[in-house]
Amino acid sequence: METRMMGVLGATSVLSLGGGGLGQLWGATTRIECVATVREAVAAGINLLDMAASYGDGEAEEVIGEAFSGSLPSGVRITTKCRVGQTPADQIERTIRSSLAGSLKRMQLDQVDLFFLHSNVVPDNDPMSDHPDAPVRLTPYANFADQVRPTMEALKSEGTIRHWGLTGIGHPDTIMQLLGETPRPAVVQCICNPIDSAGSLTFTPGPRKPREIMAVAKANGIGVMGIRAVQAGALCDEIDRPLPADHAEVRDYNRATSYRELARDLGVSAAHLGHRYALSVDNVDTVVLGIKNREELNDCVAAAEAEPLDPDLMKRVESSFTG
C-alpha cells in the first residue's frame, strides 16, 4: 500500500484502521470478524491502527489485544485516545493516566505510538459549555494548556507514549491556535469529506474549517489524519444502524441522494467514492477507516489502489450535495 510521510511518525499507509467499527459503533459485527479484519488490514499494508477507550467501552482495544497478543507486527503502530471533557483541573492528570493504563492493559501493550485527546478544545467560557454533551466532549483551552498538554509531555518523557495528538473538531480557531503553540502535537485528526461535516460530533457553531486546519498543521510540520470520510455512514449506500429521522447523520444522508447516484454512475459504492475523495484531498497523510468487516475493508483498499480523483471529478462530488 502507498505510504505518505506523516510528520515525526514518518512513512504511514494512506489508510489507517479505525476502531469505531471494531467497537461496533457502526452497525453489528462480531469479535471473530473484527479480529480477522484487523489481521487482514495489516496483511494489506495498513500500518497504523487508530483505537480509543470509548470505542465500545474498550471493545476495539480488546480486539487488538486478541489479534496480536501483545506483539504488534513489525512496523505496525497503534494509537489510542482519552476523553477529558470538563473534568476539574486537579483531576485531569489522574484521568488521563488512568485512561491510558486501561487502554494499554486491554491491548496488552506497554506503549502506544500516539495518544490523542479525544475531547474537543474550545475557548474558555465558550457558550457551548452548556451543551448537554459538554461535560464529556468539550475541554476549555486553559485546562488543555495548563493540565492536558503537560501531562501528555510527561507521559512522552516516561515512555508510555511516543507522541501525542489532537482531535481537530473542537472550535476551529482554537485548534489552529494550538497547532502553532509549543510543544506541538505530532498529529491532528481532521474531518475529511466532501461536505466538511462532523455530523453529530458538531458542538460549536459556524464552519468546521477542516481544510484550513490541515494547512496550518502542515505549515507546522504536524501530521494529518483524515476522519469521517463517509461521515459515520451518511455517505454510504445505506446507514447500517437505526437512527432517528432528525439525527445529524440522517440529515447528511438525505443530502447525499445525487452523490449516491454519481457513485452508481461511476460503478462504485458510495463508500468507495467517499474514501477515494478523502485520499485525494490536499494535506491528508492517511484516511482513517470506520469499517467493521473484511468486505468493507476490501472496498476501501480498492479505493486506495485507484487513481486519485481529478479536480473536475472532485468538484462534481462536492456539487452533488443538496441543502
pLDDT > 90? residue 20: yes
Q: What number of other Cβ atoms are within 10 A of residue 215's Cβ?
A: 16
pLDDT > 80? residue 233: yes
pLDDT in the model for residue 127: 86
Whole-number mean pLDDT of the chain?
96
The helix-helix angle for 257-266 and 270-279 (nearest 10°) equals: 90
CATH fold group of domain 3-230+275-292: TIM Barrel (3.20.20)
pLDDT in tens, 199-229: 999 988 889 999 999 999 999 999 999 999 9
Domain segments of the chain as ranges = 3-230+275-292
Q: What number of other Cβ atoms are within 10 A of residue 250's Cβ?
A: 17
pLDDT > 90? residue 128: no
Q: Exposure of 159 by Cβ count < 10 A (0-12 exposed, 13-18 middle, 19+ buried)?
A: exposed
CB 163 within 8 A of CB 186: yes
Distance CA 178, CA 176 (A): 5
CB 266 within 8 A of CB 273: yes
Distance CA 37, CA 293 (A): 6
Q: Where are the beta strands (DSSP E) in the chain?
A: 3-5, 11-13, 15-18, 48-50, 77-82, 112-117, 120-122, 138-140, 161-167, 187-191, 223-227, 286-289
CB 224 within 8 A of CB 6: yes
Distance CA 15, CA 301 (A): 8
- C-alpha atoms less than 13 angstroms from C-alpha of 299 in its C-beta half-sphere: 20
Q: Which amino acid is at 12?
A: T
pLDDT in the model for residue 199: 95
Please give the average per-residue pLDDT across 111-116, as a whole number.
98
Nearest to 21 by CA among 39, 1, 38, 45: 38
Please give the average per-residue pLDDT across 28-41, as a whole number.
97
pLDDT > 80? residue 37: yes
Per the confidence metrics, is the pTM higher than 0.95? yes
pLDDT in tens, 129-164: 888 888 999 999 999 999 999 999 999 999 999 999
pLDDT in the model for residue 130: 83
Nearest to 204 by CA among 175, 232, 228: 175
Cis link prior to 183 (omega < 30° from 0)? Answer: yes
